[in-house]
Amino acid sequence: MKKNSLIEEVAAEAPDRRRFLQKMGIASAAVMAGAAVSNAQTATPPAITDADILTFALNLEYLEAEFYTVATTGQYVDQAAGITITGSGTAGPTTGGQRVFLFTTGLDPLILEIAADEQAHVKLIRSALTAAGVAPIAKPAINLGALGFGFVYQNDFLQLARIFEDIGVTAYAGAAGLIQSNAILQTAAEILGTEAEHVGAIRTLSAMWGLSSITLDGVDVPPPPSGKQYFSTDANALVRQRTAGQVLYLAYGMKANATSGGFFPNGVNGTINTSTVSA
């Protein structure tokens, strides 16, 4: 049955806190978690709770929200949207980035809408963690200039937006099999649809305007002219997948077995914090 909010969906299926935590593998948490982080050194990886996955997702939602908010307003999420960014773990400043001059008619409202969506994801995850009795993590240190581009020109900005959105979609797909609750899976599908709309719009613009795009790893499918596909699908017309470790490999600046770097110079908060090898 459809509920008015994701938190109500989860709470309705969890009469006690233990079950509540078991049901917390929601949408955005699933998005960025992908499959549970594996440990190649041991036969039995340590158990990762749904609260751990949700916390991991919040790190990455902070990153996306900061990216779009800075690009559209020149301010950070706590300043521009009044979002709380304090909490457990190690807090850090956001550096790099600036407001981007979007000269194409109609592009500014589109990007503002995406920014509002990403801000809403941060608020949703923080509220869900609080409702579960888990302290939300603080925003870790974020370096928006990690790749050396994204904020000087409009086309530059769209290239980085394409990277962020394509990574998000592959992570949602990678996590689908982890979700046990039908209600939560329904919500995950809805949020995946939102992320797919974001990336569909950005990939189409990139192809129409002939913007070049780097290839991140073996999963990445850049749009034309750098690639041949308008949509990032495989031979079966399905979106590709990444695990949490593979997402961190990209977020940490293409470094395997790392706990910091790139967009997160001091690492992310929470137990899911180590990159694996490239996808």
pLDDT tens track for 126-175: 888 888 788 999 999 999 999 999 998 899 999 999 999 998 888 777 76
Query: What is the C-alpha to C-alpha distance for residues 189 and 187, in angstroms, rounded to an integer?
Result: 5
**What average pLDDT does this structure show over 250-273?**
96
Give the pLDDT of residue 160. 96
Q: Which domains does the chain have, with CATH numbers?
A: 6-251 (1.20.1260.10)
Query: What is the C-alpha to C-alpha distance for residues 152 and 100, in angstroms, rounded to an integer?
Result: 6
Global pTM reads 0.82
Mapping DSSP onto H, E and C, the string for 152-170 reads CCHHHHHHHHHHHHHHHHH
| DSSP per-residue string spanning 141-204 | PEETTTTS-SSSSHHHHHHHHHHHHHHHHHHHHHHGGG---HHHHHHHHHHHHHHHHHHHHHHH
Q: What's the pLDDT tens digit per position in 36-61?
A: 344 444 445 566 777 777 788 899 88
Which of 102 and 72 is assigned the larger pLDDT?
72
Which of 179 and 279 is assigned the larger pLDDT?
279
Residue 30 has pLDDT above 50, yes or no: no
CA angle 160, 121, 205 (to 5 degrees): 35
Asked if 207 contacts 223 with a C-beta cutoff of 8 angstroms, the reply is yes
**What average pLDDT does this structure show over 260-264?**
97
Return the sign of the alpha-carbon dihedral for residues 67, 31, 148, 162: negative
